[in-house]
Amino acid sequence: AVLELLFEWSQRSISAKSMAEFAGRYPDPHLRRLVEIVASDSKENMLPPGFEERAKQASERLGGDGGGMDGLDSVFDDMLAGLSKSSAAELAVSALGNICLAGQGLPVFKEQLATFRDELVLALSKQLKPMNWRLCGRAAGAVCNLLRLGDTFAAAVEEKCTKPLVIALRDEVSEGD
């Protein structure tokens, strides 16, 4: 619920700038925690909340008599409802990308985020994968917003993210053929 609120606030320019100012003044534990969520590839971070339990229940319902087509429709609706929620990783990547955009003119924010630069850039590069439809686009947006934070970020992004980004874009373009 907290990540959903941070994501929501980060989408508004005034509150996103306030968030960047706050993160610049108090990076630990706030900024550090966001970076940790982005960097963690645990199942709890990557899946929408409650999705694993929802999938297990759907599987059990299908394993029984299934309830015919109505039962199948119900299971399908439940699975889609579970997939429609954002995971912690999705919310954190989006919020951090938005905060980077808002914080581009704040030297204290850039200075504090620079301490997490390598961990953050590496984590985002791992999410730039073809067919990673939940995180690839969000990670690409966050990478673009990191570039606005200056040369130190640009160098790290160039080193770690260029190849995965090109591969993901090439795969996306080839799907249209």
Of all residues in the chain, the percent with pLDDT exceeding 90 is: 67
Give dist(CA 148, CA 81) in Å, integer.
36
C-alpha 124/C-alpha 145 separation (Å) is 12
Give per-residue pLDDT as tens, 23-37: 999 999 999 999 999
Q: Is 67 helix (H, G, I), strand (E, B) or coil?
A: coil
d(C-alpha 47, C-alpha 50), whole Å: 8
For 45-72, the pLDDT digits (tens) are 998 888 888 888 887 877 765 555 667 7
Q: What is the pTM of this model?
A: 0.86
Query: What pLDDT is attached to residue 142?
Result: 97
Mean pLDDT highest for which of 5-19, 39-53, 73-87? 5-19
- What would you report as the CA-atom Rg of the chain, rounded to the nearest whole angstrom? 19
